[in-house]
Structure 1
């Protein structure tokens, strides 16, 4: 609704200023000095002006004050209406009130300077009005005639450059280009080519001589700003225009066939044209949910609006590089032609079609030579593009476009109900947005050196999850040995644990996740389901009676009374564990880190636990084979070497990426990684989203995990999960822990012998359970041979 009101307000402003401009234009056109006005009584109250007596008064005031410069006011109103219609915010910068006033004064002064005594409308109004006459006379007294002309024309040049948004060089090239084109084509052909370029209609060129070099030509495009998305009305108009263009294409084909029949003597051959992908402007029409149960969800207004001005496509530069590519490859005996050019935010991909006798491997070896020939920071040979007969060659753009996070999540696909854990990857080479579901991946491995944009990308993933999920449906575990990258999220109520920064506590947190996974699988098994979604659907509306009946069916009876374990009958939230930086953890706690990560990546998908692992150093001893095997989703930003690239995506190429968000994304089940430009998200935007959540609630940490983490404060600093430091050591974990703990919480006193008899365990195992309970505060200290006192009243306290 807010988006609709904003668009409605812009439409009202646009229509209002358009109406004002039209009203003034009609009043000025039909002005008669004999009509009633401030300077003339006229003939009664009757007026011949098209806009009545109000129009005659306005026209007289404008003409008397400004002369013919009054028409600049009409033009300014039209400019404001057009800016509002395009969706630009009408602030002082866009309306340009001061600049408009300068333009009016300047035009009026020029009229009065060159024609000071010329009057119009029966000799009653100066050509430049009283304003122009006064300004010109004042300037004449101060600077004389030559000085005034220099000042006024210089100011006029500045105003023209400002309003046209073109440099003087670009303005000077416009008439030269028109004259050159008029010499080559008829006027009607020029108009047809212009409209053809507006709709990116494919055009074919011919050559009449065999020995003439085929030169790829870039089709004319309308100077649209990069990344455009049509509105619904524009889409309907585009459909009608496409039908008209289709009919025109059929006529063109018939004419082409006739031309080919007439030219029997000359062999004409079609030259593939370099086609530029059409860009779309993002219209933020997505409607995120305002409220989920008792939680107010974040709004897009928390994010900053992207700047209105965007980098435009330099068609001449793209054509120059296309020619240079063909020429350089020819020097290495690689013949072919450029079929397509797809400019993106950071790079442009050229689709090169080699001749039949060319090996693709020869092209891949020339990356450095091509980079030198194009004077480009980076050239990457993609290789064969599946489904085509071309090879992709990516070159860095001279001017690079920033992909803003708000643009991405404003897309409808980010809010699709089919995506449980949406992740905005970025924009592809052709400018299309890429949004994937972390739930389906189900884990992600990210690598990138300092300056590659890794931290920003990880932050954007977490922010996206906060936009889609409340603390009831999503819990986060943030492990950050560097202490700064994930610190902004330390106050959101989604956290299971406080922001973990110590390697040993990180190992404990991961082992807690393993225990949580095992508990969740018990919950799923009770209902005979294999995924968390099916479990939540069944347990969403269970009553206490339903739980009791289900326990009876599963024959979990104790002394004739159903043993209620409410944990197994509650809808489960997704848990996303983010680890940044993995290398720091592996150096200190490799064994205690690698093993739980391996278990989680192998089994945690079905029960809704997902890992995101990020590192600056993708070495073999950090990203081990055990970790890589079960993480098919990979993101490689710029890395230091080919070896690092191969470790992450099993192929080279990431070492040739650009900094600040340029990445190769390897999706599960896809043969080759695809190139994308990640979104930019500022610290201020993250802060806005975090404050939105922090103002609603404080984090509710898991009590059992907190006890394990708190054990380090009074422990001896031994291995995580072992010794006196608390935690979830492998030797401490017991698959019947939850069952025994639930029973113990209902007793007043317990002992190892009692556990041994009750659950038919060996004495060492029962004694170890007593030791674990003592460390976690479930039972009191030993008191000789007497049973230990139970310190908790229910399992839920744990």
Structure 2
């Protein structure tokens, strides 16, 4: 049972309500068939998942519920389901029959007050906007890992654009190191030749220039330490970190180590992407100084452990295309990364360059039909039966990682 395309909003809402009730009934039937007494009490619809909340009876064995993931997936016609514990409840995540993209610009329009020097990542499992605050002592630097197709470059682009839209030049400035030359290209190819005003330097592709640039950043770090200043924040974005470290040799390793160890206090942050977060590729000291990990789909449980820095992150079960887990302070939170297209970046950069002023008013222009996809719904809550509460309307509160 799925949702047919081309339906009116009212018909689609009714189809979704029927689907939610059907799947909730199927979950209860599977559990009852295995003599597990439990009840689906509600849930949340997000762009990629339908999350059901399950309350087991006192005598029910929770471990038995966790062992029924394959049976539940088979009954629901899903490739897989994810089962986790949330306080006194069990959460069962089922893939959305019509997965939706979380578009960055409509999502930003829905956030009237974003903390200073913070970046929007996307929507978490409860549909709450997930925000990363760079100035927090527990954030400092961010490592983004995942295989090709996981969406790590798209996520980093969204981070960069959200920082630019909500912060003036006196708050945040940026540096791009882009060996492939395509990851951050839209930021310097804006409409009418626009370039992102927040850039300190043109994007660097050559490894030797990257070493020189990072050397300048180390000198700036030392200068700031001596003067005890940390503003404006400088964010260094690096695509394909492992390849850069391999080609840059000891000089690159030495510079990266100094920046990751001492950069935060001077207001210098690194956000680095890699397909290979191995110790041999990026160095044990460098890797250990990334307290926040954003991990997309990886090939195996071993790769997931290396990328997340902790075991049992579940990254090997992610779906790709923006499906990520955030790992910070030993805690894991799954989220759908926000997406912004090349053309959207070029349009925003062109308007920002044209006025030389950074303002949220750019977000109020060019409203698109994708605004509904930013929250995963048309803005209306479903109307479930009295015994369950399934919500598909997401609030505008922020979940701040700090």
Please report how far the alpha carbon of residue 465 of structure 1 lies from its aligned counterpart in structure 2 after TM superposition. 1.6
- Out of 248, 263, 266, the position equivalent to 1:607 is 266
Q: Residue 461 of structure 1 aligns with which residue?
A: 159
Cα distance per residue 1:229-253 (max 9 Å; x no partner)? xxxxxxxxxxxxxxxxxxxxxxxxx
- Out of 302, 315, 326, the position equivalent to 2:17 is 315
- TM-score normalised by length of structure 1: 0.40
Larger Rg: 1
2:215 is aligned with 1:511? yes
Q: Residue 685 of structure 1 aligns with which residue?
A: 344
Q: Residue 541 of structure 1 aligns with which residue?
A: none
Please report how far the alpha carbon of residue 359 of structure 1 lies from its aligned counterpart in structure 2 after TM superposition. 4.9
Q: Residue 384 of structure 1 aligns with which residue?
A: 85
Unmatched 5+ stretches in structure 2: 1-5, 189-194, 357-402
Q: Residue 372 of structure 1 aligns with which residue?
A: 74
2:307 is aligned with 1:661? no
Q: Residue 337 of structure 1 aligns with which residue?
A: 39
Secondary structure at 2:266's aligned position in 1? coil
d(CA) in 2 for partners of 1:378 and 1:499?
A: 41
Q: Residue 449 of structure 1 aligns with which residue?
A: 147
Cα distance per residue 1:347-370 (max 9 Å; x no partner)? 011122334455544444444443
Secondary structure at 1:439's aligned position in 2? coil
Q: Relative to structure 1, is the Cα distance of residues 359 and 371 closer, same or farther in structure 2, using a 3 angstrom cutoff?
A: same
Contact 1:371 1:377 in 2 (8 A): yes
Please report how far the alpha carbon of residue 672 of structure 1 lies from its aligned counterpart in structure 2 after TM superposition. 2.6
Q: Relative to structure 1, is the Cα distance of residues 341 and 503 closer, same or farther in structure 2, using a 3 angstrom cutoff?
A: same
2:288 is aligned with 1:629? yes
Please report how far the alpha carbon of residue 645 of structure 1 lies from its aligned counterpart in structure 2 after TM superposition. 1.8
Higher relative contact order (CA 8 A, sep 6+): 2
d(CA) in 2 for partners of 1:523 and 1:373?
A: 64
2:226 is aligned with 1:501? no
Please report how far the alpha carbon of residue 662 of structure 1 lies from its aligned counterpart in structure 2 after TM superposition. 1.6
Contact 1:379 1:656 in 2 (8 A): no
Q: Relative to structure 1, is the Cα distance of residues 311 and 480 closer, same or farther in structure 2, using a 3 angstrom cutoff?
A: farther
Please report how far the alpha carbon of residue 578 of structure 1 lies from its aligned counterpart in structure 2 after TM superposition. 0.3
d(CA) in 1 for partners of 2:61 and 2:302?
A: 25
d(CA) in 1 for partners of 2:316 and 2:89?
A: 23
- Out of 106, 128, 144, the position equivalent to 1:407 is 106
- Out of 252, 261, 267, the position equivalent to 1:593 is 252
Please report how far the alpha carbon of residue 522 of structure 1 lies from its aligned counterpart in structure 2 after TM superposition. 0.6
Cα distance per residue 1:748-796 (max 9 Å; x no partner)? xxxxxxxxxxxxxxxxxxxxxxxxxxxxxxxxxxxxxxxxxxxxxxxxx
Please report how far the alpha carbon of residue 594 of structure 1 lies from its aligned counterpart in structure 2 after TM superposition. 3.0
Q: Relative to structure 1, is the Cα distance of residues 376 and 442 closer, same or farther in structure 2, using a 3 angstrom cutoff?
A: same
Contact 1:447 1:614 in 2 (8 A): yes
d(CA) in 2 for partners of 1:590 and 1:392?
A: 46
Contact 2:175 2:235 in 1 (8 A): yes
Secondary structure at 1:501's aligned position in 2? coil
Q: Residue 480 of structure 1 aligns with which residue?
A: 178
Q: Larger % of helix: which?
A: 1
- Out of 129, 132, 135, the position equivalent to 1:439 is 135
d(CA) in 2 for partners of 1:631 and 1:313?
A: 44
Q: Residues 424-435 of structure 1: matches in 2 within 5 Å?
A: 424-435=120-131
Please report how far the alpha carbon of residue 485 of structure 1 lies from its aligned counterpart in structure 2 after TM superposition. 0.7
- TM-score normalised by length of structure 2: 0.76
Contact 1:635 1:664 in 2 (8 A): yes
Q: Relative to structure 1, is the Cα distance of residues 597 and 326 closer, same or farther in structure 2, using a 3 angstrom cutoff?
A: farther
d(CA) in 2 for partners of 1:487 and 1:589?
A: 22
d(CA) in 2 for partners of 1:407 and 1:314?
A: 23
Q: Residue 392 of structure 2 aligns with which residue?
A: none
Q: Residue 394 of structure 1 aligns with which residue?
A: 93
d(CA) in 1 for partners of 2:215 and 2:200?
A: 13
- Out of 7, 15, 27, the position equivalent to 1:325 is 27
Secondary structure at 2:135's aligned position in 1? helix
d(CA) in 2 for partners of 1:586 and 1:502?
A: 12
Q: Which stretch of the first structure deviates more once superposed, 478-487 or 319-328?
A: 319-328
Contact 2:279 2:287 in 1 (8 A): no
Please report how far the alpha carbon of residue 519 of structure 1 lies from its aligned counterpart in structure 2 after TM superposition. 0.8
Cα distance per residue 1:714-747 (max 9 Å; x no partner)? xxxxxxxxxxxxxxxxxxxxxxxxxxxxxxxxxx
Cα distance per residue 1:699-720 (max 9 Å; x no partner)? xxxxxxxxxxxxxxxxxxxxxx
Q: Relative to structure 1, is the Cα distance of residues 347 and 166 closer, same or farther in structure 2, using a 3 angstrom cutoff?
A: closer
Secondary structure at 2:293's aligned position in 1? strand
Q: Relative to structure 1, is the Cα distance of residues 585 and 631 closer, same or farther in structure 2, using a 3 angstrom cutoff?
A: same
Contact 1:378 1:657 in 2 (8 A): no
Contact 2:145 2:274 in 1 (8 A): yes
Moved over 6 A (4+): 310-313
Q: Relative to structure 1, is the Cα distance of residues 379 and 522 closer, same or farther in structure 2, using a 3 angstrom cutoff?
A: same
Q: Residue 53 of structure 2 aligns with which residue?
A: 351
d(CA) in 1 for partners of 2:171 and 2:232?
A: 4
Cα distance per residue 1:647-686 (max 9 Å; x no partner)? 23223312222232122123x44x5321221222111110
CA root-mean-square deviation:
2.7
Q: Relative to structure 1, is the Cα distance of residues 224 and 585 closer, same or farther in structure 2, using a 3 angstrom cutoff?
A: farther
d(CA) in 1 for partners of 2:70 and 2:254?
A: 41
d(CA) in 1 for partners of 2:70 and 2:181?
A: 39
Cα distance per residue 1:604-643 (max 9 Å; x no partner)? 1122111101112333433543233222222112222222
Cα distance per residue 1:53-84 (max 9 Å; x no partner)? xxxxxxxxxxxxxxxxxxxxxxxxxxxxxxxx
Please report how far the alpha carbon of residue 585 of structure 1 lies from its aligned counterpart in structure 2 after TM superposition. 1.2
d(CA) in 1 for partners of 2:255 and 2:10?
A: 51
Q: Larger % of strand: which?
A: 2
d(CA) in 1 for partners of 2:69 and 2:291?
A: 28
Contact 1:345 1:429 in 2 (8 A): no
Corresponding residue pairs, total: 341
Contact 2:117 2:171 in 1 (8 A): no
d(CA) in 2 for partners of 1:672 and 1:364?
A: 20
Secondary structure at 1:648's aligned position in 2? helix
Contact 1:360 1:384 in 2 (8 A): no
Q: Residues 716-755 of structure 1: matches in 2 within 5 Å?
A: none
Secondary structure at 1:622's aligned position in 2? helix
Secondary structure at 1:314's aligned position in 2? helix
d(CA) in 1 for partners of 2:216 and 2:71?
A: 52
